Structure formats: C-alpha cells, structure tokens
Amino acid sequence: MTTRESLIARLAAHRQQHVLAFWDALDAAGRARLAAQIESIDLDTIDRLYRNGPDHEDFGPLMARAEPPPAVRLADAERSEGALRAGAAALSAGRVGALLVAGGQGSRLGFPHPKGMYPIGPVSDRTLFQIHFEKVLAIRARYGQPVPIYLMTSPSTHAETVAFLDRHRRFGLPEDELILFCQGTMPAVDARTGRLLLKDRDQLFLSPDGHGGIVSALEASGALDHMRGRGIEQLFYFQVDNPLVPVCDPTLIGHHLLANSELSTVVVAKTSPHDRVGNAVLVDGVVRIVEYIDLPDAAARAREPDGALKFWAGSVAIHVFARSLLERAAGNHQLLPLHVSKKKVPYLDDSGRRIEPADPNALKFERFVFDLLPAAENAIVIEAQRRQIFAPLKNASGAATDTPEWVRAQMRRQYHEWLTAAGVAVDADAAIEISPWTALSAEELQEKIERGQWCVGSGTELP
Ligand code: UD2
C-alpha cells in the first residue's frame, strides 16, 4: 500500500514534495487519486525535459539541411489506376482499418464536449463522428469486408464519447468493429521552477500526451493485438476535426502499398508561410514533418526563384501506417520524442489559492505521431488538393477560417462541385449535403446518377 512516506521519498528525490501540501486534509478517495497520479509519472523524464529541453533535434540546424520533399500526386493519372486497384484489393481482402484520433481538448473551438459530437452537416446537422463512421460503413459495404475503427480518446473525452456512441448505437457499426481506447497523460510543470502543477488539492494538472500517445495506448489497450487477430495490416489515420477527409480512400492506400511504404503522409500546397499545418520536408534523404510552431521564420518564408514557397508541403494529418511500424514503435519508445510547449495553465499555489495566469506559465509535454516518419521504411509523401480533402473545424465563430460556418461552407462547396461535375445544375447558394451512403467522391456520385440509382431533390438532404 502507498504510504505518505513512500510518496514523499519518491517526490523528494525530484524536489516535488509540494504536491502533497494538502494531503492531511484529503479524504481516502482524494489521497488514493493523488497517489495514483504521482505513481503514474516518470519523474526522471520530467526532470530531464525541464533541464535539457525537448528530446528532439533543434529545428534551426535541421531546417538548414532541409529540402522540399518529392511527392506522388494523388490524382496522377498514370499511377493512380494501379494504385486504385492495389488499394481496392487490400480493402476487399479485409486488411485495412481506420485510426481516428479524438483525444484533443478542442480548446480553440470552445465546444464543451468531445469535438466529434459537433453537429457540422450543413443540412442534416450530422456530427463529425457520424460523418466519419458513415464513410467507413460505406467503404465496408462497397468492399464487403469489415474496416474496424480504432478510436483514440483521452481522459477528458472518453466517458462522453463512449456514452454518445452507445446512444447512437455506433451509427450501425458492429460492436467488434469499434475499438475505443484512451490515451495517456503528461503532467505540466511551472516554466520557471520545474515544479509539478496542482489542478486541485487532490489532483495534478494532467493533459493528453499528444497524438503520438497512440502508440503506447494501442499496445496497452490490446488494440494492436486486435489488429493482428483480424489480419489488419494497413491503418488509415485521420483527425476527428476534418469532415472532408477521404477516409480509407483506395487510391491513397494503393500508393502507399505500391511504394512498399510503412508510413505515407498526405500533404497539400501551403497557402502562406505560416499556414497552421505541419511541414513535410526531406532532411538528409529522410522524410519528416516539422510542426508549424517549430518552423523557423526564415525557412517558412524561403522562396524558390519562381516565387513559390520552398517548403510548400503542408501536412493535413492524414497518414497511412503499416501495422509493422506501429508494432516496432510500441517496442521502442525512443522513436517518439517529447516536444515541449509553453502554455497558460491555471493551478493551485502552495496556500491553496487558484491562480489564473495571464501569460503562458507552464511547460506541457506531447508526442507527435508523425515523428515516426524517420523510422519508417520507404516513407512517401502524397500530394492532394486542399479543397478536396481538408476543412478542419478548429475555431469558434468569428475567426477568419476553420470556424463552424466556414467548414459548412467548404462542405457545401464540395457537394456543389460534385453535382456540377455530374451534370446536375444546382443553385450556388442551395442548401446541399450528400450523405456518405450516397457517394464518397465526385466519381461515385456521377456513376450513380448515370446508372439512374440516384435522382436529385432540392433544398433537402440527399439520400
Ligand atoms: C494538427 C497538426 C498540424 C496539422 C493540423 C491539420 C500536430 C501536432 N499538428 O494541428 O500539423 O496537420 O492538425 O488540421 O499534429 N489529439 C489527440 N490527442 C492529443 C492531442 C491531439 O487525440 O493529445 C487529436 C485531436 O483530437 C485532433 C488531432 O489530434 O483530432 C489534432 O490536434 P490539434 O487540433 O490540437 O492539432 P493542430 O490543429 O494544432
């Protein structure tokens, strides 16, 4: 059993005893909670990060050696037919699963629930979760094989996500094809002193350990075993906030397979030097992603002689992973370095007063899943058109982009383009939504219209 003395001994070695300041006033449940949190923390690692800074290489020298990456064009006519066949074969053989990350706290959006519960469908108010699940179900129906969804939550989104998906009966997804697992957490420390911060008298301030936490969470939850047991070899990875994501797109998966790649990452052309997307680059012959906040200004602004951005390739956080890479990473945690960022974190001071800092006061630690790129065999970059695959919901109404209104407008625009391409005349401002059950792409919609499997209504949700 954990005693106060054993906790003090553990903490004192790292000068962190202050987190027990209110121990005597806690009830048994409070003590148990705090003790469990303290025991789950790797205090050596926290010390090391505070003293030495992040685990990863310095981005200045790294970007000085960087080149723009070679990229396969998703729509490259010459190669895409073969890619489509390869991807379709993997889906028809039941070898593909979906990895959906939904553990973030969505603080910029200001929505007090998991982001996946946000009603974004321009006509139907479908939630992000429903849109993603229906895309997977449509792929499942088309290829006649299960496509299990491995859905990562965090302690702050888990219970509500489970209850929401239960309430909606997983939108029709069979029970054994939805594997929910919760990621781990990391503490925050005071940026000036390195002291752990208390959220409450019986709680440390903990936040999700970044989407790179997926590797250890997949292993600890048994999800990797589930993949092995089901013969799932490739995982289509995406973020919960992007309703345009082409989930399990066969051509994309096919490019990954044809390149014999263990990690393929999708990029779009950046629209400005400081676009809030990761930067796919080639360093010493190796593909990697440098997050926008880490990109040195000079590199962000570097131009080619024709005026185009040198580092043009913006990562939209859509990847295809080979299971083999996730397995290797699960056995070697060094492959995912910890990044450090300075954030505003409210906390209790030693007298129990709640402090709401006006400026960033704390260091938070996160792992990024794309840091697995250098460890991947034959990693490739696939370029797609931004307007076709990317409209992330990040900001509350009022911001210039990435707001609910902006995302709905992007969705309507896409449906409008699909209909127009299929020869259907629609008013530019018509309220349109195309369900994933109807079509997952412009081509599919066109085929259905040509075969007479679908006809146009107006002003209402299409079937
Ligand atoms: C992410 C990418 C950025 C770009 C952009 C596109 C990182 C570090 N940045 O930026 O390069 O591709 O997305 O939209 O990836 N999440 C978890 N657990 C965590 C943290 C995040 O599951 O601990 C999920 C979160 O639910 C979301 C996704 O990861 O689905 C991205 O998180 P974010 O919105 O905080 O990332 P952002 O917009 O800074």
CB of 184 shorter than 6 A to ligand 1? no
**Helices 404-421 + 442-450 axis angle, to 10:** 40
Tell the residue nearest (CA) to atom 21 of ligand 1. 104
Stretches where the chain sits below pLDDT 70 are: 1-2, 77, 455-463
Q: To test ligand 1's pocket by mutation, which of 99, 207, 239 has the most ligand atoms within 8 angstroms of CB?
A: 239
Backbone angles phi, psi at 234, to 5 degrees: -125, 140
Distance 106 CA to ligand 1 centre (A): 9
CB of 210 shorter than 6 A to ligand 1? yes
CB of 432 shorter than 6 A to ligand 1? no
Condensed to tens digits (0 to 9), the pLDDT of residues 363-408 reads 999 999 999 999 999 999 999 999 999 999 999 999 999 999 999 9
Distance 427 CA to ligand 1 centre (A): 35
Write down the pLDDT at residue 461. 43
This prediction has a pTM of 0.95
CB of 368 shorter than 6 A to ligand 1? yes
CB-neighbour burial class of residue 437 (10 A; exposed 0-12, middle 13-18, buried 19+): middle
Write down the pLDDT at residue 455. 65
Q: Which two tokens stand for residue 71?
A: 């990229």
Q: Can you state the percent helix, strand and coil of the chain, rounding each to 5?
A: 40, 20, 40
Contact 237, 315 (CB under 8 A): no
**Distance from C-alpha of 219 to C-alpha of 213, rounded to nearest angstrom:** 10
Q: To test ligand 1's pocket by mutation, which of 101, 161, 293 has the most ligand atoms within 8 angstroms of CB?
A: 101
Contact 100, 151 (CB under 8 A): yes
| Residue whose C-alpha is closest to residue 234's, from 99, 332, 367 | 99
Write down the pLDDT at residue 458. 41
| Residue whose C-alpha is closest to residue 179's, from 238, 131, 223, 132 | 223
Contact 387, 351 (CB under 8 A): no
Write down the pLDDT at residue 429. 84
CB of 101 shorter than 6 A to ligand 1? yes
Write down the pLDDT at residue 459. 41
* Residues whose CB is less than 8 angstroms from the CB of residue 262 and which lie 6 or more positions away in sequence, other chains included: 321, 322, 324, 325, 376, 377, 378, 379
CB of 316 shorter than 6 A to ligand 1? yes
**Distance from C-alpha of 253 to C-alpha of 256, rounded to nearest angstrom:** 5
Residue with tokens 């990040």: 394
Write down the pLDDT at residue 460. 41
